[in-house]
């Protein structure tokens, strides 16, 4: 009998190997599976019950083997190996172990890096991008080119410090924007089929993480000292939205310590908050090697066995044998993991028979619709920062010759950002310009974006002999990326002197296009009359060159708005390790983000020009009513401690908060001369914001975008939830709504709505 069982085990393992090597998707519970009769193969049962049944059949050694990001197979039960780590920030990625591009599919759609996409302020766009990435991941899985469908994206950390190398991966500095991005992207990625996940999304990195290495302090040993107030109103809201509103099936904890406790070992964060308060239905992942770092860098636990007893990942068997971890702890973790795989359909037989996603294959990757979406996303995110005397758009009929200068002009790598995969196709900015002008001469000008060497004389000569000069400058992954923060906000090396020299030599004001992740201090270019226009194009993805060219030549009217504040170079005097968001005038600390920064930015959050003149107004007929006094009956305002009286959101209750919601309608008028998309940003202003440092100067509460034809008007309506949008966090983290007046305003417009809260 034992020999027969051994033969069965070997045969089963061989079958599993053939399934992967033969281009078949890995799965369990097929008709020939040795476990087809077990409860975990019964698709009629709830995922958690099925997962618990599977876990109950594993030996201790088999259980521990499932705890890493590369989970071993269990051949005797017909369970194939599984790779948890795949990336999909702006397209499927080389990073991770779960996706492979060496079969029927060798390329995927590469969308713009996230920060540029965020500049569109369009949650419908974000949803569609997530949906496309999820579709392509499923297609690869069905083709046998994926060993997992757990996508460790999106990154919804707040872009707190402009030097952060990974800020490019995020939706920016604003918690409302990051929260809405999280919801839209996760819903798109995970799909809309009840009970079945298209892919599993993982929101990372909880929480208050935005430092790689600064002045000898690395993310691996950084203790982020964060106030309860900043956690409540800045760092945690995007993760809460991920779990509560988007129903993300995973949250990843960060490398860093939070107030002395490693994020990946914080019971308050992982158990009390994620699962208890927010109701996470899924699993918690540590960032790569974060658990090992609990001991090696952070010294949170004295031995590997003590460490795994905290976070349950490595040295598992020894921790069990030494009694430092109970098997029930492992069972709980594995049940959460396998429940997600159940929801992905990995235990429902051949995934190609799945009614919702089984039909997806090679024809669903790099489709024309996805390519068009990549172009749309890049176009809609590009921000026009300067346009003196109508320097843009260019008239191709009057530009007989053009000089394209810059290290980012013809380098496909400049389009990608980080966490990228092999793109379907690539159009560099030079190639984009060449579609519009036949006589184009190109010079890199610098040896690289670092620009240690600049061909200044050659570039100036080229500029002086051309009708129009377009410069493509900025940064690269050699200046900003995971593991690498910047030390300066200026353009690197000799870029500034090269740009200035070229501008001086040019016949007409030059056009400066910046390809960067994070913000740069380009005050010199902003103030130079010989530089006619400035565009920020982020890292714009596979269609980035064409998108930039369409904007330059007027085939697309720019509508992007900055999702981060562009600070002056002097901001770099502030330690990156100072986590405080709020300003401290007594010590000269200027605060961070548009909500609290008291300095003079180079460009403000939400700034962006258009080729058309737009006006906006809050529609009088739709102004919100004064909140019904009865809705606050029984809720007693309390002294806020930092000025005035406040209603506690917790006491208003879920039902009361629901009834307080109201619509805000904004009328947009495009005065011409071009059709174009327009994003409306609505802020709340507190009249007593300066009374105490606890209140933001203003806070974004909603946004919406709409394409409006020249000469026409459109109305955009967004829902305002006072408990979420008009509340603020007290010093202890308690969310409150101040008694008295609040004012809604659109961007920098003077028009305001007054909303009063009195019982």
Q: Which of 338, 301, 337, 341 is nearest to 322 (CA)?
A: 301
Buried b (16+ CB within 10 A) or exposed e, 162-183: bbbbbbbbbbbbbbbbbbbbbb
Name the helix (H) or strand (E) containing 593: helix 593-596
Q: Is 705 helix (H, G, I), strand (E, B) or coil?
A: strand
CB 707 within 8 A of CB 713: no
| Residues ≥6 apart with Cβ < 8 Å to 353 | none
What sign has the CA pseudo-torsion 66, 72, 76, 77?
Answer: positive
Q: Tell me the three state secondary structure of residue 214.
A: strand
Closest CA to 311 of 242, 243, 262, 277: 262
The encoded tokens of residue 758 equal: 């009195």
Active site residue 287: yes
Residue 334 to residues 164, 255, 419: CA-CA distances in angstroms? 34, 22, 28
Q: In 28-89, where does DSSP find H-type helix? A: 47-56, 60-64
Burial 315-330 (b: 16+ CB within 10 A, else e): bbeebbeeebbeeeeb
CB 194 within 8 A of CB 137: no
What is the CA angle 592-594-595, rounded to 5?
80
**Coil, helix or strand for 730?**
coil
| CB neighbours of residue 610 within 10 Å | 18
Contacts of 37 (CB under 8 A, 6+ apart): none
Q: Residue 54: which of 345, 331, 349 has the closest Cα?
A: 331
Q: Which of 98, 88, 48, 51 lies closest to 275 in space, CA to CA?
A: 48
8 Å CB contact between 516 and 538: yes
* 469 phi and psi angles, rounded to 5 deg: -115, 130
| CA-based radius of gyration for the chain | 27
Q: Are 58 and 65 in contact (CB under 8 A)?
A: no
- Both tokens of 541, joined, read 């993805």
Exactly one of 123, 287, 348, 738 is catalytic; which is it?
287
Q: List 745's β-bridge partners, or say none.
A: 683, 752
Q: Are 169 and 418 in contact (CB under 8 A)?
A: yes
Sheet of 283-286: strand order equals 150-151, 200-206, 250-253, 283-286
- Reduced DSSP (H G I as helix, E B as strand, rest coil) percent helix, strand, coil of the chain, to 5: 35, 20, 45
Is residue 756 helix, strand or coil? strand
- The 3-state secondary structure of 114-181, one letter per residue: HHHHHCCCCHHHHHHHHHHHHHHHHHHHHCCCECCCEECCCECCCCCCCCCCCHHHCCCCCHHHHHHH
Helices (H), 155-280: 175-190, 228-230, 237-240, 267
- The enclosing H or E element of 658 equals helix 649-660
CA distance 536 to 561: 10
Bridge partners, 481 (sequence order): 484
Sign of CA dihedral 20, 24, 28, 30: negative
CA–CA dist 66, 216 (Å, integer): 36
Which residue numbers are catalytic?
287
């Amino acid at each position: 009998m034992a020999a027969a069982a051994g033969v069965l085990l070997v045969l089963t393992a061989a079958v599993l190997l053939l399934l992967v090597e033969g281009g078949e998707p890995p799965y369990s519970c097929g008709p020939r599976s040795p476990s087809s009769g077990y409860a975990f193969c019964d698709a009629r049962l709830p995922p958690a019950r099925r997962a618990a049944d599977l876990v109950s059949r594993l030996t201790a050694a088999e259980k521990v083997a499932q705890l890493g990001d590369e989970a071993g197979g269990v051949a005797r039960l017909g369970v194939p190996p599984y790779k948890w780590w795949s990336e999909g920030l702006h397209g499927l990625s080389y990073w991770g172990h779960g996706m492979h591009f060496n079969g029927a599919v060798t390329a995927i759609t590469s969308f713009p890096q996230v920060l540029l996409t965020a500049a569109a302020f369009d949650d419908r766009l974000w949803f569609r991008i997530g949906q496309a990435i999820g579709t392509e991941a499923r297609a690869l899985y069905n083709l046998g080119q994926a060993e997992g469908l757990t996508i460790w994206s999106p990154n919804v950390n707040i872009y707190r410090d402009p030097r952060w190398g990974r800020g490019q991966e995020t939706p920016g500095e604003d918690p409302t924007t990051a929260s809405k991005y999280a919801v839209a992207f996760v819903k798109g990625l995970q799909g809309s089929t009840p009970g079945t996940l298209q892919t599993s999304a993982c929101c990372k990195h909880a929480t208050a993480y935005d430092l790689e290495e600064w002045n000898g302090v690395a993310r691996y040993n950084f203790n982020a000292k964060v106030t309860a107030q900043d956690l409540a109103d800045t760092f945690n809201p995007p993760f809460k939205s991920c779990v509560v509103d988007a129903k993300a099936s995973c949250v990843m904890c960060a490398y860093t310590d939070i107030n002395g406790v490693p994020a990946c070992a914080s019971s308050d964060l992982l158990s009390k908050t994620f699962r208890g308060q927010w109701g996470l239905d899924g699993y918690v992942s540590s960032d790569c090697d974060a658990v090992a770092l609990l001991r090696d860098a952070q010294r949170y636990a004295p031995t590997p066995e003590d460490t795994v007893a905290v976070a349950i990942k490595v040295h598992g068997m020894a921790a069990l044998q030494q009694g430092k971890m109970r098997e029930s702890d492992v069972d709980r973790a594995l049940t959460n993991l396998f429940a997600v795989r159940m929801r992905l359909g990995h235990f429902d037989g051949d995934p190609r028979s799945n009614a919702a996603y089984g039909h997806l294959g090679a024809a669903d990757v790099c489709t024309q619709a996805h390519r068009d979406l990549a172009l749309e996303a890049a176009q809609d995110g590009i921000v026009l920062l300067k346009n003196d005397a109508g320097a843009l758009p260019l008239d191709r009929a009057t530009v007989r010759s053009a000089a394209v200068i810059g290290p980012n002009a013809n380098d496909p790598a400049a389009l990608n950002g980080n966490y990228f995969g092999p793109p379907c196709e690539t159009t560099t900015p030079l190639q984009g310009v060449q579609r519009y002008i036949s006589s184009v001469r190109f010079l890199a000008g610098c040896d690289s974006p670092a620009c240690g060497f600049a061909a200044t004389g050659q570039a100036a000569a080229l500029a002086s002999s051309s009708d129009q000069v377009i410069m493509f400058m900025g940064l690269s992954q050699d200046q900003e990326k995971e593991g690498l923060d910047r030390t300066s906000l200026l353009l690197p090396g000799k870029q500034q002197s090269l740009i200035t020299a070229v501008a001086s030599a040019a016949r007409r004001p030059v056009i400066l296009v910046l390809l960067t992740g994070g913000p740069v201090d380009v005050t010199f270019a902003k103030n130079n009359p010989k530089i006619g226009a400035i565009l920020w194009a982020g890292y714009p993805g596979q269609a980035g060159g064409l998108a930039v060219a369409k904007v330059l030549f007027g085939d697309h009217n720019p509508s992007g708005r900055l999702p981060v504040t562009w600070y002056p170079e002097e901001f770099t005097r502030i330690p990156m390790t100072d986590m405080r968001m709020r300003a401290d005038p007594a010590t000269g600390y200027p605060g961070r983000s548009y909500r609290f920064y008291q300095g003079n930015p180079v460009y403000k959050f939400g700034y962006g020009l258009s080729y058309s003149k737009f006006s906006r107004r809050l529609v009088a007929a739709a102004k919100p009513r004064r909140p019904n006094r009865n809705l606050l009956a029984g809720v007693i305002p309390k002294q806020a401690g930092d000025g005035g009286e406040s209603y506690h959101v917790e006491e208003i209750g879920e039902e009361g908060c629901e009834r307080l919601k109201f619509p805000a309608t904004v009328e947009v008028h495009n005065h011409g001369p071009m059709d174009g998309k327009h994003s409306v940003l609505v802020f709340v202003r507190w009249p007593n914001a300066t009374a105490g440092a606890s209140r933001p100067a203003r806070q974004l509460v909603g946004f919406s975008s709409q394409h409006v034809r020249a000469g026409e008007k459109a109305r955009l309506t967004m829902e305002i939830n006072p408990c979420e949008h008009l509340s603020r966090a007290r010093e202890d983290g308690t969310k409150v709504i101040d008694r008295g007046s609040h004012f809604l305003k659109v961007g920098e417009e003077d028009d305001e709505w007054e909303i009063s809260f009195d019982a």
